Structure 1
Amino acid sequence: MGNTAVAKLGTVVLDCPDPDALARFYAELLGGEPKGGDDAWVDLDGYEGTPLAFQKAPGFVPPRWPAPEGSQQFHLDLTVDDLDAAEERALALGAKPLDAADRGRSWRVYADPAGHPFCLCAC
């Protein structure tokens, strides 16, 4: 009995109220350029990593972190060389700290401007 994959991961798509604004946030954080044809979908083009896209979601409600019950659904782990410098840049771009108080850890948790959790990891 073999382990034959049915599919491969193509793109991670984040639902949000403003795809262009969120794409610009991640372009500044990860590199690349927002590329989209309309206000409903924007791709992050030209950066190294798993493809990211941003989709307009009417009635979007951001995940809660930490969730009192259940789970946060998912989060992005972003690898950085300098945690303090990456934190400063992410905050300047509009990220909000969710759990960045423990300065002794090699990771810190933030929310992007639409409320999706992500970690900066110097691991």
Structure 2
Amino acid sequence: MSSTATAKLGTVVLDCPDPHALARFYAELLGGEPRAAEEGWADLSGHEGTPLAFQAAPGFVPPRWPAPDGSQQFHLDLTVEDLDAAEDRVLALGAKPLDAADRDRSWRVYADPAGHPFCLCAC
């Protein structure tokens, strides 16, 4: 950590209605194993990259994409080698296309089963 940094990124936590189901989705997508750490919480262990965790959020409302005001809460960019193959896989796992019709771009936008937007990027 640099001498001016106050903190470092530890884990990205996604609120959702079912932490264990969403952990299984991302384990299939990114590798690793879903792990139930405690009631209302699951994480993804053994995958490469920034740690992911999933937290139960009663009354969860998924973000809208694109948002009417042009802002988003956040999204994940996931690097892939083959967009078409990755798209087939995420759709089979339960993702929904949000903006994937333009086949000439190097990225496509989907929502995970809880509604969080993410991009598959062959950039």
**Is the shorter-chain TM-score for this pair beyond 0.5, marking a shared fold?**
yes
CA distance in structure 1 between the partners assigned to 2:65 and 2:90 by the alignment: 18
- The reply on whether 1:54 has 2:90 as its aligned counterpart is no
CA distance in structure 2 between the partners assigned to 1:80 and 1:29 by the alignment: 11
Displacement, 1:74? 0.3
Written as runs of structure 1 = structure 2, the 5 A alignment for 1:28-39 is 28-39=28-39
- 1:108 corresponds in structure 2 to 108
Whether the aligned pair in 2 keeps the contact of 1:19 and 1:39 (CA below 8 Å) is no
CA distance in structure 1 between the partners assigned to 2:83 and 2:3 by the alignment: 38
2:92 aligns to what SS in structure 1? helix
- 2:77 corresponds in structure 1 to 77
Task: Tell me the amino acid that sits aligned with residue 43 of structure 1.
Answer: D
- 2:8 corresponds in structure 1 to 8
Q: What is the TM-score of this pair, normalised by structure 1? A: 0.96
CA distance in structure 2 between the partners assigned to 1:46 and 1:10 by the alignment: 15
1:94 aligns to what SS in structure 2? coil
1:77 aligns to what SS in structure 2? strand
Identity of aligned residues (%): 84
CA distance in structure 2 between the partners assigned to 1:57 and 1:47 by the alignment: 24
Task: Tell me the amino acid that sits aligned with residue 43 of structure 2.
Answer: D
1:42 aligns to what SS in structure 2? strand
- 1:67 corresponds in structure 2 to 67
- The reply on whether 1:118 has 2:118 as its aligned counterpart is yes
CA distance in structure 1 between the partners assigned to 2:52 and 2:77 by the alignment: 13
1:120 aligns to what SS in structure 2? strand
CA distance in structure 2 between the partners assigned to 1:68 and 1:75 by the alignment: 16
Task: Tell me the amino acid that sits aligned with residue 8 of structure 1.
Answer: K
CA distance in structure 2 between the partners assigned to 1:70 and 1:104 by the alignment: 23
Displacement, 1:69? 1.2
CA distance in structure 1 between the partners assigned to 2:105 and 2:68 by the alignment: 23
Q: What is the TM-score of this pair, normalised by structure 2? A: 0.96
Task: Tell me the amino acid that sits aligned with residue 34 of structure 2.
Answer: P
Q: Kindly report the root-mean-square deviation, in angstroms, between the aligned alpha carbons of the 2 structures.
A: 1.3
CA distance in structure 1 between the partners assigned to 2:93 and 2:13 by the alignment: 20
Task: Tell me the amino acid that sits aligned with residue 61 of structure 1.
Answer: V
1:21 aligns to what SS in structure 2? helix
Gaps of 5+ in 1: none
CA distance in structure 1 between the partners assigned to 2:33 and 2:11 by the alignment: 16
